A and B are shown apart, each in its own frame.
Chain A
Amino acid sequence: MNDRFEIPGRLRNTSIGLILVGVLTLIGGIACLLMGQGTTDVDHARFWAVLLHDSVFFTLITTVSIFVMSAVSLAQGSWIIAYRRVPEAIGANVWVFATIAAVVMFLIVFTFRDSHGVNTIYGWVTPGNDPILKGKSPFLNKGMFVGFTLVTLGLWSFFGRKIRALSIAQESAPHNDTKIYWKVFRLGAVFLFVYALTQMSTSPWLWIMSVQPHWYSTLFSWYTFASAFVSGMSLILLWVVYLKNQGNLGLVTKEHMHDLGKFMFAFSIFWTYLWFAQYMLIWYANIPDETVHFKMRQQGPYSIIFYANFIINFVMPILILMARPSKRNYFTITFMAMVIIFGHWLDFFQMIMPQPLGQYWHINWFEIGIFMGFAGILIFSVSRTLTKSDLVPNNNLMLKETAVHLS
């Protein structure tokens, strides 16, 4: 089977257009900060917080592809093989977002200060006389932040490219040769370990939770992981549907789509479980250090986003995706994938924005433009990677198994 993907002109123009929108928005934002009359500290904080929000969000949802491939390789699953090139291509482009995220975060840590010399996004950078921040300084300091970030992003980028390279190498290996198969198996095990120690613990602490350095939640990293995972699965699904509409991926049937839909449904519920577990324990214990988090979000200026988050990410998936026919219908599943990605983008928004911006939050041209720019980078880079190899892994050991897969 020969199944090459060639980027349609429309897709390339769209992606370049989106990137241009993002760049223009960025330039517009900088121009507003430099030349605008009466720019306040909040405007500066908004500029950096939006960049932080989008770069972290896109890094996390693309890394999910590596996690899915590793977990499925370790479980010796075959259902993903029919469209494995898609998560491979997304995973191989983690380095793009990792680089952007690293630049943004290091700029925030090292250069961003408000007019009083305080870093309002990562407050622990300038602890002043705060005893709590001083007590946390052995972990929350510039050295630890830079070290953890570089190691984490470096490992993710490496594994993403390595897993794809091995899968491409399998194509030229002797037929039914299991050497690379077991190599991917072992590599997957190592990556799960890496992922557990980064995405599921340290990175969300450093990148997102430390925006609110006084507050902590032991569940936070899991919660972030669930949010990223469900949107990462939706992202894979959007690519699969797009490629199928282009006439590629002939092996993918409704059974495969149904499996992806199940993941979107199940992990929306999982996200809700963690969201609620975090909420209920804080609500029940009613300790002021912890409730301050929800005071701002549920009863404060963010209550619209708080409830929208719950409705979009729980009520809609559970009601719409529960029935089997809706998971096998291309329209519903594509629509829900977009809804879920938007919903979890909002979720990350309400994780990051309340501390630096307070009541002065916006979802306006700047937020949307930067999001479009990142989406453009994603479409551009992933589609370029997809063209570089055959979309059907012809020599994969599980090719026959995936072709006859029943969900």
Chain B
Amino acid sequence: MAIKKFAVAAYDDEEVLFPAVKSVRRKGYKIHDVYTPFAVHGLDEAMGLKGTDLHIAGFIYGLCGTSTAVGFISWIFTSDWPINYGGKPHFALPAWIPITFELTVLFAAVGMTMTFCYLNQIMPGVKKHVFHPRQSDDLFVMAIEIGKHGNEKEVADFLKTTGAKEVNIQVAEAGWWYGRWDKKEPYELAAG
């Protein structure tokens, strides 16, 4: 991943946050992410985020589960080890439906959970940069990416006009990485 420079603004009210997000987008700055203590309805639309495609992944995982179950059971009971159970035909589809259903649900659920973790970059043993210690407590924190040619002072001044309580510039890793929370990373030490 990449180490980038961010302008970070902290707001103490969602009613200030919404116009701020809108004006930042109108100005053309790139919002890295907005961190809020609770789910704020409509914020994803205000930030211009697209709807998720997670459910399409879920459908595909479900199909994988269905075909795994039907394929495996039918292979076992018709060719690998055919046994006569109560005079039923070897290809006894109704009896397999419950297991097929369960496996469909299992594949879809586990697959979607893992995809969700991947998309949100959360996993045990994985670290992400925290822009503000109070972002999960009582502050709404917006991080804006400053490109190579961006002017950090201009961005910070603009953020102050949007009603931010606190504005600072941070150099941080943008993605996720394997790491421990009790140890600082080299780039963190370098940035002080």
**A residues apposed to B, CB below 8 Å:** 276, 279-280, 283-284, 286, 322, 324, 406
Q: Are B97 and A280 in contact (CB under 8 A)?
A: yes
Q: Are A284 and B59 in contact (CB under 8 A)?
A: no
Q: Check if B94 is an interface residue, CB within 8 A of chain A.
A: yes
Question: Once bound together, how far apart are the Cα atoms of A360 and B95, in whole Å?
Answer: 32
Q: Which of A283, A324, A406 contacts B94 (CB 8 A)?
A: A283
Q: Check if B55 is an interface residue, CB within 8 A of chain A.
A: yes
Q: Are A284 and B55 in contact (CB under 8 A)?
A: no
Q: Which of A280, A322, A406 contacts B95 (CB 8 A)?
A: A280
Q: Check if B26 is an interface residue, CB within 8 A of chain A.
A: no
Q: List 16 A-B contacts (CB under 8 A).
A: A276-B94, A276-B97, A279-B94, A280-B94, A280-B95, A280-B97, A280-B98, A283-B94, A284-B88, A284-B94, A284-B95, A286-B86, A286-B87, A322-B59, A324-B55, A406-B41
Question: Once bound together, how far apart are the Cα atoms of A108 and B175, in whole Å?
Answer: 74
What are the residues of chain B within 8 A of A276 when measuring CB–CB? 94, 97
**B residues apposed to A, CB below 8 Å:** 41, 55, 59, 86-88, 94-95, 97-98
What are the residues of chain B within 8 A of A279 when measuring CB–CB? 94
Question: Once bound together, how far apart are the Cα atoms of A279 and B94, in whole Å?
Answer: 8
Nearest chain B CB to A173 CB, angstrom units: 31
What are the residues of chain A within 8 A of B97 when measuring CB–CB? 276, 280
Question: Once bound together, how far apart are the Cα atoms of A107 and B41, in whole Å?
Answer: 58
Nearest chain A CB to B102 CB, angstrom units: 13
Nearest chain B CB to A183 CB, angstrom units: 32
Question: Once bound together, how far apart are the Cα atoms of A218 and B55, in whole Å?
Answer: 36
Question: Once bound together, how far apart are the Cα atoms of A286 and B85, in whole Å?
Answer: 12
**Which of chain A's residues has its CB closest to B87's CB?**
A286
Question: Once bound together, how far apart are the Cα atoms of A279 and B93, in whole Å?
Answer: 12
Question: Once bound together, how far apart are the Cα atoms of A286 and B89, in whole Å?
Answer: 13
What are the residues of chain B within 8 A of A286 when measuring CB–CB? 86-87
Nearest chain A CB to B38 CB, angstrom units: 16
Question: Once bound together, how far apart are the Cα atoms of A322 and B56, in whole Å?
Answer: 10
- Residue of A284, A286, A324 ringed by the most chain B CB atoms within 10 A: A284
What are the residues of chain A within 8 A of B94 when measuring CB–CB? 276, 279-280, 283-284
**Which of chain B's residues has its CB closest to A322's CB?**
B59
**Which of chain B's residues has its CB closest to A280's CB?**
B94
Nearest chain B CB to A25 CB, angstrom units: 39
Nearest chain A CB to B18 CB, angstrom units: 16
**Which of chain B's residues has its CB closest to A284's CB?**
B95
What are the 6 A-B residue pairs with the smallest beta carbon separation, nearest first?
A280-B94, A283-B94, A276-B97, A284-B95, A280-B97, A279-B94
Question: Once bound together, how far apart are the Cα atoms of A58 and B59, in whole Å?
Answer: 36
What are the residues of chain B within 8 A of A324 when measuring CB–CB? 55
What are the residues of chain B within 8 A of A406 when measuring CB–CB? 41
What are the residues of chain B within 8 A of A284 when measuring CB–CB? 88, 94-95
**Which of chain A's residues has its CB closest to B59's CB?**
A322
What are the residues of chain A within 8 A of B98 when measuring CB–CB? 280
Nearest chain B CB to A299 CB, angstrom units: 14
What are the residues of chain A within 8 A of B59 when measuring CB–CB? 322
Nearest chain B CB to A9 CB, angstrom units: 43
Question: Once bound together, how far apart are the Cα atoms of A237 and B98, in whole Å?
Answer: 32
What are the residues of chain A within 8 A of B86 when measuring CB–CB? 286
Not counting A276-B97, A284-B95, a sample of 8 additional A-B residue pairs whose C-beta atoms are within 8 angstroms of each other reads A276-B94, A280-B94, A280-B97, A280-B98, A283-B94, A284-B88, A286-B86, A322-B59
Question: Once bound together, how far apart are the Cα atoms of A134 and B95, in whole Å?
Answer: 35
Question: Once bound together, how far apart are the Cα atoms of A393 and B88, in whole Å?
Answer: 58
Nearest chain B CB to A286 CB, angstrom units: 7
